[in-house]
Amino acid sequence: MEDNLLSSDHIDTIGEIANISMGNSATTLSLMVNKKVDITTPNVKVIKRSEALDDYENTCIFVQIHYVKGLEGNNVFILKEHDVKVMCDLMMGGDGTNTAGDITDLHLSAASEAMNQMMGTSATSLSSMLGVPTDISTPIVNQIDVDSIKVFEKMFDTTYDKFVKIAFRMTIGDLIDSVMVQLYPVQFALDMCEKFMNKGK
């Protein structure tokens, strides 16, 4: 039953909302890194929670966004470490090539600031599209060890843990051509779609 919770109309609506909100967020990030940024072509599908990190090796960066107004629930964005290093270097005034070494608190802080600004812009877009004031809390950013998380998730796998996975193509100048993933529970998606479809009624 849960596999069929989202209709093709839901999927299309999620894609439309994602395209507009993240398109506006790309403009915000562009101003922060002083490079052309595109976040486009959202690919939407429903996955099990334990499959969330199947596209990642070793470690990745988790950014947790909590909605405090308009919508209820959390979103998670997954970024590749290299992409975060490039963004951090650009935000610090570098040319985006200083990416050697391990992820540090500086990188995580930069990712938090970038996502805070981007999701603030996204929340403004959502407010307009959904017809309700929408706001977020400050993002929580962590470096995640993929293997340990995947083992942990599989231990608690159930048939009721479906998530919406949106994969965006993200380009920053000629430095990044990558994928950024957004995850949220199916119920969050249904709530968002309902508000979108009922706006103005």
Task: Show the domains of the chain with their CATH numbers.
Answer: 2-194 (3.40.1550.10)
Instruction: Answer left, alpha or beta for residue 34, where phi above 0 means left and psi between -120 and 50 means alpha.
Output: left
The pLDDT-based confidence of 91 (bands split at 50, 70, 90) is very high
Q: What is the pLDDT of residues 162-200, one digit of tens each?
A: 899 999 999 999 999 999 999 998 999 999 999 999 886
Task: Report how many helices (DSSP H) and strands (DSSP E) the chain contains, helices first.
Answer: 5, 7
> What confidence category does residue 160 fall into, taking pLDDT thresholds of 50, 70 and 90?
low
Residue 153 has pLDDT above 90, yes or no: no
Average per-residue pLDDT for the chain = 90
pTM of the model: 0.90
Q: Given its phi and psi angles, is residue 85 left (phi above 0), alpha (psi -120 to 50 degrees) or beta?
A: alpha
| pLDDT score of 24 | 93
Residue 20 pLDDT exceeds 90: yes
DSSP secondary structure of 60-80: EEEEEEEEEESS-EEEEEEE-
The residue among 52 and 37 whose pLDDT is bigger is 37
Q: How far apart are CA 186 and CA 181, in angstroms?
A: 15
Q: How sure is the predictor about 1, in pLDDT bands with cuts at 50, 70 and 90?
A: very low
The arithmetic mean of pLDDT across residues 118-127, rounded, is: 93
